[in-house]
Structure 1
C-alpha cells in the first residue's frame, strides 16, 4: 500500500512526489524588512553556563550585528541562549565535565 501511494497508483494524476516541487521563493532583504512585512531573525546560541553579564553583552553584540547587516530595528532581533551543563555534552567521545 505504501509503495502504491508513493508511486501514485492510488490516485492517478495526483502528484505525490514532493521532491520535485520548486523551492520556496526568497525575497530580497529590502523587501523582507519593509514596513509591511517584517521577518524577525531568531539567533540560537548553544553554550555552557556563562554569567549574566557575559550573556547580556553577547545579546547586545548579536543584535547590533543584525541591525547593521540587515538594516532592521533592534526590536526585530531575537536571541535565544540555551545553556547546557558540562555533564550534559561532550567532545571527542568524552564528557566536557571530565576535563582533558
Structure 2
C-alpha cells in the first residue's frame, strides 16, 4: 500500500485533486498498484509555521 505525504503551502482543492490523481496514476503505471491502494496525504503549512534562513515564511517576499 503506497503512502505519499506532501508538505506544501495551502493550495486550491482542485489542484490537490489533480495532483492526487497524477500521483495515483504513476503508482498504477510504475508499480502496478491498484488505485484504491494508493494514499496521498496533504500536510499544508502556512507561512506562520515554518522558517527559512532564520526568517519566518510569512516575512519572506514571494515571487
Q: Which has the higher contact order (CA 8 A, sep 6+)?
A: 2
Q: Which residue of 1 aligns with 2:3?
A: 42
Question: Which aligned segments of 4 or more residues in structure 1 are displaced greater than 6 angstroms?
Answer: none
Q: Which residue of 2 aligns with 1:57?
A: 18
Q: Which residue of 2 aligns with 1:87?
A: 48
State the Cα deviation string for residues 51-72 of structure 1 (Å, max 9, x = none): 1011111101111111111011
The two structures have a TM-score, normalised by structure 1, of 0.58
State the Cα distance separating 1:92 from its structure 2 match: 1.5
Could you say which structure has the larger radius of gyration?
A: 1
The two structures have a TM-score, normalised by structure 2, of 0.89
Q: Which runs of 5+ in 2 are unaligned?
A: none
Two-structure CA RMSD over aligned residues (Å): 0.9
Structure having the higher strand fraction is: 2
